[in-house]
Every structure is written in structure tokens, then in C-alpha cells.
Structure 1
Amino acid sequence: MKYGWILTAAILLAACGQPKDVPQESDIVAVEDHEMAQPGSLSETPQASDYVAPDFAKLSGYGEGWYISPGWPGEYPAGFVVLDESISVMGRAKPNPASPQDKACTLPQLANYQLWNNPRVSSDELEFFVATKTFPVTLNQDAQIEYISDAGSMQTLDLKQGEQLNYLRYLGEGFAILSYAGTEYDINEAELMDITDIQSTKGQEDEWLRVTCSDGSKVWLLYDEVVTVPGIVPSPITGYGDASDITLDQVEGIRAEAEQNAALAESLGEAPIE
């Protein structure tokens, strides 16, 4: 779950005020009166209509206890930009932390590896998926929990004290996928805070991206590793659903902002803002 960066972002907004170019919640998704926006609907890799996603679970070999799904989580999914020339990173042939990180890959300067950057996703045949360590969520009282049905309407799940849900992955806008009795449900985490032990467990997410290197080879990169490489920083947020490669005149401004965010996050004891 993205508790760390959400908390840091909230503190930033409270201290500095909300930037003018950040859309208000009512501007994020246009929803007709008769339908409900699906949480995380812009968190999956945009592809052509005939695109078939790889079997990421089989490809990665994470095994039991992990939920593997396409796209990256979050209202504003993470990404990274390459600020400098001749940046080389070490990737993997197999997207699993246990696999050797022995594939050198040079990335093009100014590239923005973010799943909303459609031209880059298409030209480099990028693949995004997230591996989430699952964990049980136990009810501390009888409760009716609302969830979004496949048709987009709100339904309720009647549970008793002591029963368990299984946390599978975060989506966005506060919603996550949890399962009960083998069925998956999109549930707002806020509903679970006071009636379960969800706050006592911090989930683990591995965000993977397959990139095309400058020599045409393809490697898998783990987000938490690649953003520590000098000359690479988290993607700037320009708007909901909006991302593109950056320009040379943006480089130093993005670098300065990333350094400021990293320093603030360190002072707060949180993960860097994504």
C-alpha cells in the first residue's frame, strides 16, 4: 500500500498549498450520472485493442503469497525520467529480485518511463506489472462492507467478526483489490480502517518495467532500484492521465524539484515522493 508517499504528499500540500496545475478531485474523472468510474482505470498499460498481456506470474516466478497484475498502482502511477546522457542501468532477464541483476542497459536521455506516456510505451514496447505481497485482513466486528460490482454499482459484503479478507493490491483513489472466499472485490480501504486490522500491516509492492535499451535489447527494471541511479529521478506530475518525454530546458528544474522532494521525504522519514 502506498501509505508512505500519500502521507508525505498530504503534508506537502498542507504546508505549501496545492499547486494550481494539480487537478481537483472533481476534475480527475468525468463520470456520468448513471455510471461509476472504475478505480485504477488509468493504472494499466495502454495498448492496442489486439494486445495480449504476457503471463507475468509465470514469467516472474514469484510463487504463492504474491498477487501479480498488469499496470502500476496509484492515483498517479510512479515513473522515472532520464535527465542525463549515457545513463546505464543494470537490469534483469527475469523480473524477480532473486534473479541476477547483470544486464547493462543504456537509456535515452529525456525519456519518461511512465505508463501514461503512450508514445514511449508504444515505441519501446514497454511492459508494466506489479507484484504485491498479499496479507490477511481480519474483521474485529460484524460489518457490511461496500464494494464496486463488475457493473459499476455499489454492493455490500456481509462479514462476521473474525472472518478474513485477503489483500491483493492497491488500485488508486483509496481503492484496493481484496478477496473473500475466492472472489475478488474492489473495496475502499477507508471502510476497513476501523473495523479490521489493516493498519497493522504494511504491504510490499515490486513495480517492474521492461524497457528497450539503446542497443535494442530488452531488460526488466525494478522501480525502487532504478530511481536510485544518479541522473534518474521520479517522473514529474503534469496532470491526470498526462505524461510525455521531457525536453532539455526542463531537465534542471525537474532535477531541483526531485532533490527537494527527496530531502523533505528524508527529513520526514518517508519514502521519496513518486
Structure 2
Amino acid sequence: MKSGWIFAAAMALAACGQSPDVPQDSDIVATDGSELETADAGQLAPASDYVAPDYAKLSGYDEGWYISPGWPGEYPAGFVVLDEGVTLQGGARPNPAAPRDKACTLPRLANYQLWNYPRVSADKLEFFVATKTFPVTLTQDAAVEYVSDAGSMQTLGLKQGDQLNYLRYLGEGFAILSFGGTEYDINEAELIDITDIQDSKGEEDEWVRVTCADGSQAWLLYDEVVAVPGIAPSPITGYGDASDISADQVDSIRFDAEVNAAAAAEAANQPFE
């Protein structure tokens, strides 16, 4: 596992049924590479009896997708249950083509976010992301910086016409791309003027396995979940910080979700400049 991948690794370990005493004030960060911290990585290890699922085999995505644990972003997404009796349609297999034939009722005020360690542990939550890969072609000769295994910045010499393969977004502008069979953690900003990366639109599916009110489990797709009435995106309270919400937060979270949804809809209707 690459050092630059530690940001996503920390997220993944939080989602892997780790012991409940995982610290919530980890100093693991993802920046420009020079400030990557690894001091708390050992404390984020999953419980010794935990065996991570084979997400790729379980989901059945084809080889055009990159499957990896955790969810992307400096502040990974999540969702909260605002109303009583919210029932979602999940499935036994985390794949868009698989049937959503499992009715799954979730508890009010629950926050399904991978930093909500008590909920992750109690409900045995599993998070992974499937990213549709795409080629990124160099439009000129260039030396591209990447985060080495030791956490320092190194350069990768590339020629016009060389092709990288985009695998996954991490956070704070960094993504995993492969070249010649090797994976590199690269700041996307470095690629904007020297590749055709802006011509491609990324596609990703964020999946979480939840425990339903009846004790059964179901896989849910984030984009489908947040479209259900009574569900809203998780509030951001701080880096590495998340918990179930309280009843007195419901109205403000619902209001913020409605405002943000309206703003996003308006932005989608504006011409691209």
C-alpha cells in the first residue's frame, strides 16, 4: 500500500469493524505530500479477528472499474436519518445492476459516516467505492510529482502521448493514477495543463453495507439513499469527527439539505463557462 494512499487507508480502516477504542483525533492528513502524518496509523488498525470482504468479487464490477475500501474526499460523504420509520430498498449485492429487493428500515437519528466509529462498530458497516477508470493522455513532455512510499515528493518523467489510467480520487486534490503497471498518488492540479484530464468526467459508486432494524444486512448506494425523503447528507462537524445526531438538530439539517439541493439544481441549469 502506497504512503500517499494512507489518507484513504485511514478511512478504510475506520470502516472495517475496528475495535471501538479507535481515536477520533487522528492527525493523519492528506496535503501536498510534504505533511503526510503516519503516527496514528497503527492505532487505526482493524480488530485482529476482522477479515475485509473481497469487494471486487462481491460486487461483480467489470475490469473497467477500480474497487477500493472507504469513501473518497477529505471529508467523506455520509447520510443521516431524520424521520422515524424510514425504509430503504437495498440489495444483497453491491452492484447497480443487482436487484434492490431488500426492504431495510434504519433508526432515526443514525449517522452513516465512516468516522462515526460507534455506529460503524455496532452495525458492522462496510464502505467501498467503485470508480470508473479512464485514460489520461499527456499533451506534452512533463515531469509530474507524486507521493513516494516514504511520503516524500518524487517526479515521474513522462512524454507526450504517454497515457495514465485514472483509478480513484483520494482527497485534497490527490488521486490514484497508474502508469506502466505502477500506481501513483498525484495532485490532479498538476495534470490540468499537460493532459486531457478535463475532457473526461469521473464516475463513482459509493456503497455501504448497513444493518437493518430486523437485524439483517443490505447494501445501499449513496446516490440513491440521499434521494429518499427523510434522509439528508451527514453534517460536517470537524475533520475526523462524526456521531449520531440529536433530535434538536433535525430541523437545521433538513433545512441545510434543502437549501444545498436547490443551489445544486440551479447551478446545474447554468451554462458552463
5 Å-filtered alignment, 1:64-143, equals: 64-143=63-142
Deviation at 1:49, TM superposition (A): 5.0
- Per the normalisation by structure 1, the TM-score is 0.83
Secondary structure of residue in 1 paired with 2:208: strand
Q: Which ranges in structure 1 are unaligned for 5 or more consecutive residues?
A: 1-27
Indicate the percent of aligned positions where both proteins have the same amino acid.
74
The answer on whether the counterparts of 1:89 and 1:104 sit within 8 Å (CA) in structure 2 is yes
Q: Distance in 2 between matches of 1:185 and 1:52?
A: 26
Task: Report the Cα offset of residue 63 of structure 1.
Answer: 1.5
Q: What are the Cα deviations for residues 159-218 of structure 1, in whole angstroms up to 9, with x where unaligned?
A: 000000000000001000000000000000000000000001011000000000000000
| AA aligned opposite 1:184 | E
Structure 1 residue 150: Cα displacement: 1.1
Paired amino acid for 1:269: A
Partner of 1:232: 231
Cα RMSD after superposing both structures: 2.1
Q: TM-score, normalised by structure 2?
A: 0.83
Task: Provide Cα deviations, 1:218-258, integer angstroms capped at 9, x if missing partner.
Answer: 00000000100100010010011100000001111110111
Moved over 3 A (4+): 28-31
For 1:177 and 1:29, locate their aligned partners in 2 and report how far apart those are by CA, in whole Å: 18
State the alpha-carbon separation in 2 of the partners of residues 90 and 121 from structure 1: 20
Q: Tell me by how many angstroms 1:52 deviates.
A: 2.7
Task: Report how far residue 69 of structure 1 moved.
Answer: 0.1
**Distance of 1:38 and 1:207 partners within structure 2:** 26
Write out per-residue CA displacement over residues 14-66 of structure 1, whole angstroms, 9 at most, x where no aligned residue. Answer: xxxxxxxxxxxxxx8679xx963169x99xx9743553311100000001100
| Aligned equivalent of 1:166 | 165
The one-letter amino acid of 2:224's match is E
Offset from partner CA, 1:77-131 (integer Å, 9 cap, x none): 0000000000000001100000001100000000000000000000000000000
SS of alignment partner, residue 237 of structure 1:
coil
Matches of 1:49 and 1:254 in 2, distance apart? 37
**Matched residue type, 1:60:** S
For residues 145 and 205 of structure 1, the distance between their equivalents in structure 2, rounded to whole angstroms, comes to 25
Aligned counterparts of 1:268 and 1:183: Cα–Cα separation in 2 = 38
Partner of 2:55: 56
The secondary structure found in structure 1 opposite 2:50 is: coil
- Whether the 8 Å contact between 2:109 and 2:247 is mirrored in structure 1 is yes
Tell me how many residue pairs correspond in the alignment. 238
Give yes or no for contact 1:92–1:221 (8 Å, CA) kept in 2.
yes
Indicate conservation of the 8 Å contact 2:28/2:37, yes or no. Answer: no
| Partner residue, 1:252 | 251
1:209 matched to 2:208? The reply is yes
Counterpart CA distance in 2 for 1:234 and 1:67 is 25
Distance of 1:234 and 1:46 partners within structure 2: 27
In structure 2, C-alpha distance between the alignment counterparts of 1:175 and 1:254, rounded to whole Å: 29
- 1:176 and 1:189 in contact (8 A); partners too: yes
What SS is found at the alignment partner of 2:146? strand
Are the aligned partners of 1:46 and 1:115 in contact in 2 as well (CA < 8 Å)? Answer: no
Question: What is the correspondence of 1:34-45 to structure 2 with a 5 Å cutoff?
Answer: 36-37=35-36
Task: Judge conservation of contact 2:29–2:37 (CA < 8 Å) in 1.
Answer: no
Answer yes or no: is the 8 Å Cα contact 1:46–1:118 preserved in 2. Answer: no
Against the structure 1 CA distance between its residues 30 and 217, is the aligned structure 2 distance closer, same or farther, given a 3 Å change threshold?
closer
